[in-house]
Structure formats: C-alpha cells, structure tokens
Amino acid sequence: MKLKDYSILLLMILTWSVSYAQAYQITGTVTDRITGTAIENVAIYDKNAGQLAITDLNGKYRFSTTQNQLTLIWFSYEYVVYEESININTDLVKDVQLQQLGEELTAIELTVRKEKIFQLERLKDVEGTSIYAGKKTEVVLIENSTANLAANNARQIFNQVAGLNIYQNDDAGLQLNIGGRGLDPNRTANFNTRQNGYDISADVLGYPESYYAPPAEGLKSIQVIRGAASLQYGTQFGGLVNFVMKEPHPSKSLELITRNTIGSNGLYTNFTSLSGTSGKWSYYTFFNYKKGDGFRPNSQFESKNVYAHIGYQFSDQTKVTGEITYLNYLAQQAGGLNDRQFEDDPFQSNRERNWFEVDWFLYNLKFSHDFTEDTKFTFNAFGLQAQRNALGFRTNRVDQVDPGNERDLIKGDFNNYGAEARLLSHYNLAGKKNIFLIGSKFYKANNTSTQGPGSDGSDADFNFRFDEFPNYSNQNDFIYPNLNISLFGENIFYANDKLSFTPGFRLEYIKTESEGFTREIRTDAAGNVIFNEIIDENRSNERAFALLGLGTSYKPTDAVEFYGNISQNYRSVTFTDISTINPAFEINPNIDDEKGFTADIGARGNINNFVSYDASAFALFYNDRIGFTQVVSNDGRVKSQRGNVGDAVIYGLESLVDLNLQKLFIKNRDYKFNLFFNTSLVSSEYTNSDANGIEGNKVEFIPEVNFKTGIQLGYKNFLSSIQYSYLSQQFTDATNATDGNLSGVIGAIPAYDVLDFSTSYKYNRFKLEAGINNVLDNSYFTRRATGYPGPGIITSPNRNYYVTLEIKI
C-alpha cells in the first residue's frame, strides 16, 4: 500500500470514529459529597460492557451511547462505588456525588473494575509524578497477552506496539533487542530502558545497552513512550521503555504462583513467585530459571534471575520501597554466518568455543510522599554492579575454521549509581487547573573494559592468559569515569476541558572520559615480534546543552483524542565502542555525538469498547547519524568503518486498530473475539553526507513495511490467538549494500514473515498454556551482528513449541 493510499485510509478511520460517536451525549461532574470538590480519575462503567469514560481534573466526564437504558457504575479507589440505572432518550447531564471510604478497599470490592478488553492501552495525562499529555504512549498489558511469556517472545509481547523492529535470535528471551523508526535494535540501546522507573542498562551514557530484560512472567505491563520522552527520561532518540513489575497481592499475606514450561530444543523454565501484604508491609519476589540446548549447535544456555520488592506504608501519604534484581546467565555462542553459509544451511555452526556470560545486580530505593492531594514527590536512588564477558574466536572470515589457538576475551565491568527526584503539583492559573513537574537526576559511572588473550581451550574460562600468550595482538585496557547531571521540567496548561499544551525542557551536563591504552603487536611468519607499541589514550569530552519540546492534546469527545508533539534528542558517542578492537570493522577517529529531533501527530481513542485505535504520522530528523560505510584502507583493502555517516530524515505512518468483534457478532460476554491490525509504513533518506555515494540512500534498519495482524478468540476460561508478522527488506549500512561480504556483517536483511499460534485454559487454581512459534517453519534472519554473538548473520529460530503449567495457591 502506498503512503498516499494509507493517508486516505487514515483519514477515513478518523472521520468514521468521530461520526460513529454521534449519539446521545451523557455528561456530568463527579464531586465529593462532603467537601464538594471535584474528583478526578473516576471511572464510569457500563455494567454490561465495560469502561465508558474517566473524569478529568475538574471532575467532568463525557461519553456517547446509542442505547436507551444503561446501568452505570462510578468507581474510584478512595470512594464508595455508586451504581444507578438511567433511561436515555435525549442528551443527558448526570452529576454524581461520591462518599469517601473509611478504610481501604478489599479485593472483593475491587472486582467492580471490569476485565480489560484490549491488550494495549494509553497512559493518562498524569501518572504518579510523570506527565504524558500530548505524547505517543503505548502500554502493553501482559495479563491480556497470549504470548510465549516463558521465552520472552518479543514479537508476540510487543505485537501491538506500532513500528517496532525486533532482533529475533534466541529461543529463551535472554536479551531484548527492539528498535524502531530507523534505530538500531541491538540490545535496545536507543531507548532509555527502565524497571519501575529506574535505569537498568549498562551505562546510560557510555554504553546504553541492556543485557538484562525482566522476565515477562513477572511483569504487570510495559510502557513505551516515543521520542518526546527525551525531556523527562533522558536524551535518547527512541524514547522510553519502562518495565512495570507485578505488585504485591493487596489482601493476602501469602500468594504463591509457580509456572513450569517445557519446549523445543530441551527448553525448560521455572518461574515461582511469592507475594502478599500484612499491615503496613508488602512484598513481591520471584525466581526464574531457564535452560536449553538452543535451536543451533553450540548454543546451550542456563539462566538464573532473582527479584525482590518490599514496601512499607508509613501513612496514606508516605511510602518507602526497596528492590533488588540479580541475573546470571551463561550462553554458548554458535557464531555468525555469511550469505553463502546461510543459503547452504541456516542452522549450521562452525564455532564450538565461543561463550558469553552476564552477571547483573540492580538495586533501588524509592521514597514517595504526598504533601497534599495536589502535590506529590518521589525520590529514586539506584545503582548497578555488573559484568559481561565475551570469549571466542572472532575473525572477519566467518567461514574460516577455528584453528584452536588462544581466544579473544573481552571483559566489561559496570559500576554506576544515581538518584532522581521529581515534584509534581496541581495549581490554578486564570481559573484553570494546571500541572507542573520539576525534576533532576544525578548519574555517576566508573566502568572498565579489558581486551586480551583467553585460553586455547573450549570451556567457558573467562580468565586472561597474558603470560601464556604475550604476543596476542588485540590488547587494550580502559576505564570510563562518566558523569551526568540534568534538570528537567514540564507543564500542562489546560486552555479548557478539551485542549491542553505541554511545553518542556531538559538541561544536560555530560562529561565522558576514557583513560587507558591499546597495545599493537605484529609478528612475522615464524611468530617473531617485529612490532610492539603501546598507545596511551586519555580523552575527556565535556558538554552542556538544553533540549526543548512541546506537546498538545485535544479531546473533543471520549471517543477521540488528537495529539502532537515535537522534541529535541541527543545521543552521546560511546567510548566503549571506540576503544574495542573488532576485526569486522574499524572506527573513524573523528566520530562524534548525534543530534536531532522527533515529531508526532495523530489521533487515538476508544469507541464504546468496540474499537481501540491510534493512528499517527511521525518525522525523525537525525544529524551526524552513526553507522557503517565502506572505506579503502592503506593496504588497498575495502573495510567497514563505523563513524558519523551524515544527516538523515525518517518519516512515516503508524497505526493500530483493535476491534472488539464480540460486541458486533456475539452478544454473549462469555465469548472474546478481537482482531487487530498493526501497520507501519516508513520512508527515509540521507540528506547530507561527506562520504561518497551516501546522499540519497535509504537509512539502515528500516523495513518500509512493518505489518502485524492477529485474531484472539475465547470462551469463558479458554483463550487462543494466531498472529501474522511481515517485514519488508531493510539495509544494514549506509551504502545500501545488498550482497553480504565475507564477514556477513554488511548486506541486506531480506523480507520475512512469521506465523505464531498460542492458546490457554484456566481451571480454578490451574492454568495451561501452549503454543507454536514460527508455525510455517520459515528460515529467516533479522540481524547481521558486528560483534558478539557473531560477527555475521544470526539465524532466527525455526518452528518450536512450548507448554506451560501454572499453579496459583
């Protein structure tokens, strides 16, 4: 489908959504029975169909209906539930007064909140001490997903998040690799990744790669906020991915859930959690174990993950929580392939001695205090102590047989800590209620990276052997003492009940340093040293700058919201990328930071719980984009070089339409029938480049067509779904090379499609889940790795199955 055709379709959808909402208009105001003050965030439900509206800052609500009689429920956590049946034959104003509760709600009282009909929802204007008005936000509700949670199958979990490009190269979800809008998916490095609001990547500035991904079985939801999140959460072009963990059970002192999964290729996982609340104390903890042989030879793995959350409620206004997370996994690396090898046998491996290990420890302490109902404060202190070790035989000739010599070993240690404080306050200006947010962040990192000779054995021995192999050529040792201090703020100005504007800013001070040396050793054919030089490299890059942004939102009815935003972005060059010696490519010594901005405009809404939709256009302007080009070295060889390729523009259309067909075809609410269409159409171009042959080329990591669709069917406790994914061809370097080279690093990623099936059945305390991923058994790949787990083409999993048994006590 052409972009022009898609624009017409988008206009038709928006026009239809507005016209469909024209019926009887029900409006009103919800107030406190005693004080008379307006109550925001009160949910209004149709007792038979689910949520219809939610009150705004002034306690007002609005929805439309074609029915002549409704039984309505007004629900808020702090107030007694109010229910009333009303007759409707004209537009109606229905004001309601709610009575405050004397004590916290029990679990039984909470059941008035209806089950979520759709798998994806959007964030409200304000949540906690964060502002989301005018931003493109998507919240994945894990409980409503039929994905392969045990294996963290990102293709299924993120199936309704528009435009995501996902690397799919392991069958256990040990790492998350997502990107979008032309951003490299590698270890989700172009998003600011957080867990419960605090950073979890290796180094937000110097090495923003995420080696840890929370297990989906322990998640409540995943929040995705696009580029405009650069003002509140960091400077990244991609925005924010925040993993929201499950919460302690509110009314039990102990709840135990255990899930055991078996699957193809020797896969076994166990997820066991404990949760509860007793008085002012609450807790949630889990242990997750995974092991398997992998779908290629030489790809076995074992993983252990522990998480613990504990909270203490001092009062209704004050709470303290603490969290720790520990992950350790060891995985054998089957290595990469070149194009000829992939065509011969996509599942072959000629690397038996490559290993990868991650040891990750996160900690967090959060203090929350409500000074008043209108003023809230949060303080997050967090830190990371982690290590990643990569060991193996690497060469730019991936088809070369491993000679069994000493292996290349890279050890990275990450030790960082930080704190973030936020203050959010409601205030009145010119008779209008507005919201102000101010925050600051301090971040300090002291990371190290060492590269040198490993053993000549075949086991996972992560000890250097400098004495045994003194002439090993690829040696370096660096420390990276990075510092970041930032101040940020946003303000929602409500022009009226429907229109708001949200300007924002972020002031950044960044100091990245690199202290260490690189040693270059050359030998003759007999192994004699003919060149031995140590090059000291001490660099310091200090900068301060401001990022600005503006968002706007217009809500003419509860069925539609028009939104738009524009925000500056920034990505600092990582010294670790500069320092690591890689035989597959070289680094341009003049590599520098990336700058630019993103913009979104779109419409979203929920029409009577029949259609949930979000359709938008976006543009991303990327200056000094870092990527790969082909250069001729001094010895006449053509080699890949990583550096600032040039300026680029990326633009496109993204849409999600989720239809609740149960309301249309099956009136019985025991049935579930949803159909979704997730479509992304993107175009791109390098508009300026000093390198030859780049200007006018397409930007890498962009499939011009990214389409997902699926059907979810259910009856009572039985649920099943089928999902189809298609991505068109994408390039991996700025020269738009289509044929792979000897290393397999450069070349196109061909178009591919995948079909997935999953099902579940729940009976009392038991739940059985099963599914088949890649039902059609297609051979494809989504990644050309420049380093580990390659270099080269990394094959995606073939057809595989899983079965999960859950027991809840």
Identify the pLDDT of residue 520: 80
Length reported for the chain: 809
The per-residue pLDDT for range 83-106, each reduced to its tens digit, is 898 988 888 999 999 988 754 444
For a pLDDT cut of 90, what percent of the chain falls above it? 69
Q: Name every residue whose Cβ is closer than 8 Å to that of residue 282 and which is 6 or more positions away in sequence.
A: 247, 248, 250, 276, 310, 311, 312, 313
290 to each of 90, 190, 358, how far by Cα in Å? 59, 27, 14
DSSP category for residue 730: B
Q: How large is the average pLDDT for residues 733-750? A: 89
Identify the pLDDT of residue 15: 40
Q: Is 82 domain-assigned?
A: yes
Q: How large is the average pLDDT for residues 72-91? A: 87
- Supply φ then ψ for residue 339, to 5 degrees: -65, -40
Assigned token pair, 169: 């190269």
Q: Which of 102, 133, 158 is the last residue of a domain?
A: 102
Identify the pLDDT of residue 13: 39
Identify the pLDDT of residue 536: 86
- Distance separating the N- and C-terminal Cα atoms of the chain: 50
- Indicate if the pLDDT at residue 416 is higher than 50: yes
Identify the pLDDT of residue 20: 39
Q: How far apart are CA 253 and CA 443, in angstroms?
A: 37
The per-residue pLDDT for range 135-149, each reduced to its tens digit, is 999 999 999 899 999
Q: How far apart are CA 420 and CA 470, in angstroms?
A: 46
Identify the pLDDT of residue 636: 59
* Residue 68 near residue 60, CB atoms below 8 Å: no
151 to each of 258, 267, 279, 721, 762, how far by Cα in Å? 15, 9, 36, 17, 20
The per-residue pLDDT for range 29-43, each reduced to its tens digit, is 999 888 888 898 888
Number of domains comprising the chain: 2
DSSP strands (E only) in 142-266: 164-166, 178-180, 192-195, 198-199, 219-225, 240-245, 255-263
Neighbouring C-beta atoms of residue 311, cutoff 10 Å? 19
Q: How far apart are CA 794 and CA 185, in angstroms?
A: 14
Q: Which of 80, 102, 124 is the last residue of a domain?
A: 102
Q: Provide the residue range defining the domain that includes 85.
A: 23-102
Q: Return the biggest CA–CA distance within the chain.
A: 96
Q: Is 400 domain-assigned?
A: no
Identify the pLDDT of residue 627: 84
Q: Is 309 domain-assigned?
A: no
Identify the pLDDT of residue 634: 64
Rounded to the nearest integer, the mean pLDDT of the chain is 89
The per-residue pLDDT for range 238-272, each reduced to its tens digit, is 999 999 999 999 888 999 999 999 999 999 999 99
The per-residue pLDDT for range 326-346, each reduced to its tens digit, is 999 999 999 999 999 999 999
Q: How far apart are CA 43 and CA 33, in angstroms?
A: 17
Identify the pLDDT of residue 215: 97
Identify the pLDDT of residue 58: 82
Identify the pLDDT of residue 223: 97
**Least-confidence region, from 42-56, 156-170, 280-294, 509-523:** 42-56
Identify the pLDDT of residue 108: 35
Burial class of residue 325 (count of CB atoms within 10 Å of its CB; 0-12, 13-18, 19+): buried
Assigned token pair, 684: 């791109």
Q: Is 781 domain-assigned?
A: yes
DSSP category for residue 579: H
Q: How far apart are CA 769 and CA 761, in angstroms?
A: 7
For a pLDDT cut of 70, what percent of the chain falls above it? 93
The per-residue pLDDT for range 587-622, each reduced to its tens digit, is 887 888 899 999 999 999 998 888 999 999 999 999
Q: Is 527 domain-assigned?
A: yes
Q: Which of 102, 129, 157 is the last residue of a domain?
A: 102
Tell me the H-state helices in 210-288. Answer: 230-233
In CATH, what number is assigned to the domain containing residue 500?
2.40.170.20
Q: Is 334 domain-assigned?
A: no
Q: How far apart are CA 427 and CA 437, in angstroms?
A: 11
Identify the pLDDT of residue 787: 84
Identify the pLDDT of residue 10: 40
In CATH, what number is assigned to the domain containing residue 39?
2.60.40.10
Q: Is 495 domain-assigned?
A: yes
Q: How far apart are CA 692 and CA 123, in angstroms?
A: 45
Confidence grade of residue 114 (pLDDT, cut at 50, 70, 90): very low
Assigned token pair, 285: 């903890």
Q: Is 402 domain-assigned?
A: no
Instruction: Report the number of secondary-structure helices (H) and strands (E) in the chain.
Output: 6, 43
